[in-house]
Amino acid sequence: MLRVLAAGDHFVAPDLFLDALRTEGAAEFDGRTLTAGWPTEPFGPVGTGDSVVDEASGTEDDLIAALDGVRVCLTQMAPFTARVFEARPELEMVAVCRGGPVNVDLAAADAAGVAVAQAPGRNAAAAAEFAVGMMLAALRHIPLADGELRDGRWRGDFYAYDEAGLELDGATVGLVGYGAIGRIVARVLRAFGATVLVSDPYAPAEDGIELTDLDDLLRRASVVSLHARLTDETRGLIGTRELDLLPHGAVLVNTARGGLLDYGALPAALESGRLGGLALDVYDVEPPPPDWPLHRAPNVVATPHLAGATRQTAHRAAAIAAGEAARFLRGEALAHPANTVGSTR
């Protein structure tokens, strides 16, 4: 009987994978499970030498043991390094329920002849809603006002003109990156009445947005939200030079990837007033250390990498991965291949 491993965690549980695979009408299979510690335990790099994967949860040894006799694995964060592929030559396919399978050594998977699939857009709605929520929180000082009231202070001065917040209606909002998440954010912002600028060299022209270059976007937007993928091209995309282009008092939101932003440049930008507000869900170091200079800054909204954390995302992720596994088992082309072997199925 076909042996399948559901290597889940405490967000996308193994049973979600197996239930989704049954819903896909997969032939009878022997479903095995493995549960990693994320998110109660932080993810991180796993591996040694030339094969180190990122944002992984669990150990190579536990994964190798669980893969005994397994042909297909559905996972979110299991660490698929070269060592794992070498130890389990019977493995044929890995379906990763993430938009980017950074926990898989794709070159090693190709070398081992293992097809890898991914799940683009699984958390697009969740992340887009969260990004807009962060904009509103920063523009209207919602977390600060909540904290003051809970501490017994009725801050009537927040209604004073100099302290009052700003609206999205009529604002110019710049989106850096225009993939699945950015498109939803733009749609929601237009409903608020905002003017939407987009900087993305790969974005097509569309009604309702204005395509422009990054420097022009930064000079014109009172709110800037990052939605780009982290690549060699985008790493460190926003630093001191770029922050200096912003209008005085602009709001910056990063719910994408910490590596897009130079976090060392942020305290000075806040102190000078160049940044009037900052909303962060991702960081260059996760979690930020206890001495992080922005921990107590009043105009900073900070959350612990929660943008994609909805129950719908977990079910959608499992369903996409199960769909890819079912296609593989039926001998069909993968809809979302992540490596060369997967693309040539």
The band of 27, judged by pLDDT with boundaries at 50, 70 and 90, is confident
Here the tokens at position 211 are: 């395509």
Q: What is the mean pLDDT of residues 316-337?
A: 96
Helices (H) and strands (E) in the chain, counts: 12, 14
Instruction: Give the max Cα distance, the chain.
Output: 70
Provide the residue type at 220 as one letter.
R
The band of 121, judged by pLDDT with boundaries at 50, 70 and 90, is confident
* Structural element, H or E, at residue 238: none
Query: Which of the residues 122, 257, 274, 316 is marked catalytic?
Result: 257
Query: Taking the model in full, what pTM does it have?
Result: 0.88
Percent of the chain exceeding pLDDT 70 equals: 100
- Nearest Cα neighbor of 99 from 259, 228, 263 is 228
The band of 100, judged by pLDDT with boundaries at 50, 70 and 90, is confident
305 is an active site residue: yes
The CATH fold assigned to 124-302 is Rossmann fold (3.40.50)
The CATH fold assigned to 2-122+310-343 is Rossmann fold (3.40.50)
286 is an active site residue: yes
Give the chain's mean pLDDT: 95
User: CATH 3.40.50.720 occupies which residues in the chain?
Assistant: 2-122+310-343, 124-302
Cβ atoms < 10 Å from Cβ of 322:
26
Query: Which of the residues 155, 190, 305, 345 is marked catalytic?
Result: 305
* Tens-place pLDDT, residues 292-309: 999 988 899 999 999 999
Query: Which of the residues 163, 167, 271, 286 is marked catalytic?
Result: 286
pLDDT of amino acid 296: 83
pLDDT of residue 1 exceeding 90, the answer is: no
219 is an active site residue: no
pLDDT of residue 39 exceeding 90, the answer is: yes
